[in-house]
């Protein structure tokens, strides 16, 4: 009995020690650098406006048709739906009572003003890389906006994900706060591009896969992944031959970010929204810096998702392509200028996951309207005209022609995409 009692006491002490360790590491903070003195407040606000655009803050904090940055935008995840909070300077419902240190704490350490742990749908695992000067500029810009009194909507998360205490465990595993540091062996342009990609641009939030607990995997190499809750695939941003940027130049990347289209591809879906609200406002130098950095990322493995199309499927797809697609995209799949992009070597076409190509055929392709391309050409939807078998055939054909070597598409895949779009 004495031995059993000692064992229970020891086990209890060990559990307490583990709990305290979990609490310490799960709630730890990195103070980071001190605020930087500002000599020109108006210039700081303008810098903050640019950071807000780069970080695309409006996407999660402005509901369609609502007041700017007043919150309410639904953010679907596999754990439930979160809602972007009000970040206008209203003291009761926004960040009007927050100090610059409070704001820095949220961006850098993923904690609210009262110390509550924030859900990582707010991309603080990437924002932690931001400099204190940029965080303070963003704070100054948001504080300069009109205050909007709008109550924040409660998150609708399933149990047990609605228990914030579990975030302590998540943070121990997946969150390491720390400001970006330049690599002395690289150029200033490369370092600037890396900072924009890994910090305020938070590209890994979409272009890296997520594990079962919602943490990004292999974020540094940006190998691509499905965008949680949206049903689109974000392609690799590294040197993958078929699905990545191996055939692109840094200037090509810059043009896509600012205009929404290149001869290689046209942005659709969530990326079109990012370009509309964010990257079209990049300076030429920053857009090129991002391209320069991305072009140095090594290729990652992108295994074929399935088998190549059969000869019969390719024959059926070829007929449909000639009837519906060749007039714009040309018989050889090379397209015409940037208005009708090439399908040969197009990373949206050859991606490991065919969902983007399927959705564009079903629902049409509508590139973003930007300062460089204010009246972009669009592709009409074919979902009402073509059956699931037809869509599978024509998408399989373009994924397997003109040097493309992606896997075939099946009718059930098309049906799932069609059903998901109708929800």
Q: Do the Cβ atoms of 363 and 386 come closer than 8 Å? A: no
The response to whether 15 counts as a known ligand-binding position is no
For 210, the 3-state DSSP assignment is: strand
Task: Say whether the peptide bond before residue 273 is cis (omega within 30 degrees of 0).
Answer: no
The separation between CA 62 and the C-alpha centre of its own chain, rounded to angstroms, equals: 17
The response to whether 203 counts as a known ligand-binding position is yes
Q: Do the Cβ atoms of 239 and 293 come closer than 8 Å? A: no
- Taking the C-alpha atoms of residue 248 and residue 86, their distance in angstroms, rounded to an integer, is 39
Q: Which of 75, 340, 35 is nearest to 205 (CA)?
A: 75
- Taking the C-alpha atoms of residue 21 and residue 138, their distance in angstroms, rounded to an integer, is 34
The CA distances from residue 118 to 26, 82, 108, in Å, are: 12, 11, 11
The response to whether 325 counts as a known ligand-binding position is yes
User: Hey, how many other C-beta atoms are within 10 angstroms of the C-beta on 289?
Assistant: 25
The CA distances from residue 184 to 194, 196, 260, 310, 414, in Å, are: 13, 17, 33, 52, 49
- Taking the C-alpha atoms of residue 223 and residue 240, their distance in angstroms, rounded to an integer, is 8
Going by the annotation, the residues of the binding site are: 57, 60-61, 203, 206-207, 325, 328-329
Q: Annotated binding site for heme c, which residues? A: 57, 60-61, 203, 206-207, 325, 328-329
């Amino acid at each position: 009995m004495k031995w059993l009692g000692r064992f229970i006491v020891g086990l209890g002490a060990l559990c307490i020690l583990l709990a305290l360790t979990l609490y310490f590491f799960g709630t730890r903070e990195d103070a980071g650098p001190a605020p930087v003195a500002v000599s020109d407040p108006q210039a700081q606000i303008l810098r903050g406006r640019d950071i807000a655009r780069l970080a695309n803050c409006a996407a999660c904090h402005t509901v369609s048709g609502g007041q700017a940055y007043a919150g309410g935008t639904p953010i679907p995840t596999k754990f439930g739906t979160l809602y972007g909070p009000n970040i206008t300077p209203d003291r009761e419902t926004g960040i009007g009572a927050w100090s610059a240190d409070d704001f820095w704490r949220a961006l850098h350490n993923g904690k609210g003003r009262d110390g509550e742990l924030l859900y990582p749908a707010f991309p603080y695992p990437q924002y932690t890389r931001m400099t204190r000067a940029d965080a303070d500029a963003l704070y100054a810009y948001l504080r300069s906006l009109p205050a909007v009194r709008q109550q924040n909507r409660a998150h609708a998360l399933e149990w047990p994900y609605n228990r914030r205490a579990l975030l302590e465990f998540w943070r121990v595993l997946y969150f390491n706060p720390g400001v970006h540091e330049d690599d002395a062996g690289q150029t200033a342009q490369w370092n600037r591009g890396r900072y924009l990609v890994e910090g305020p641009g938070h590209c890994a939030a979409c272009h890296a896969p997520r594990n079962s607990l919602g943490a990004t995997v292999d974020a540094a190499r940006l190998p691509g992944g499905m965008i949680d809750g949206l049903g689109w695939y974000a392609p690799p941003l590294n040197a993958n031959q078929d699905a990545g940027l191996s055939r692109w130049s840094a200037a090509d990347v810059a043009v896509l970010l600012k205009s929404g289209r290149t001869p290689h591809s046209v942005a659709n879906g969530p990326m079109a929204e990012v370009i509309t609200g964010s990257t079209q406002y990049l300076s030429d130098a920053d857009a090129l810096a991002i391209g320069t950095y991305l072009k140095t990322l090594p290729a990652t493995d992108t295994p074929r998702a399935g088998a190549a199309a059969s000869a019969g499927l390719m024959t059926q797809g070829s007929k449909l392509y000639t009837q519906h697609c060749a007039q714009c995209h040309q018989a050889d799949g090379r397209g015409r200028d940037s208005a009708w992009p090439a399908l040969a070597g197009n990373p949206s076409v050859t991606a490991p996951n065919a969902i983007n190509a399927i959705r564009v055929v079903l629902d049409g392709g509508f590139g973003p309207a930007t300062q460089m391309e204010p009246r972009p050409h669009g592709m009409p939807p074919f979902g009402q005209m073509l059956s699931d078998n037809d869509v599978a055939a024509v998408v399989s054909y373009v994924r397997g022609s003109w040097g493309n070597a992606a896997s075939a598409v099946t009718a059930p895949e098309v049906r799932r995409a069609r059903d998901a779009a109708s929800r």
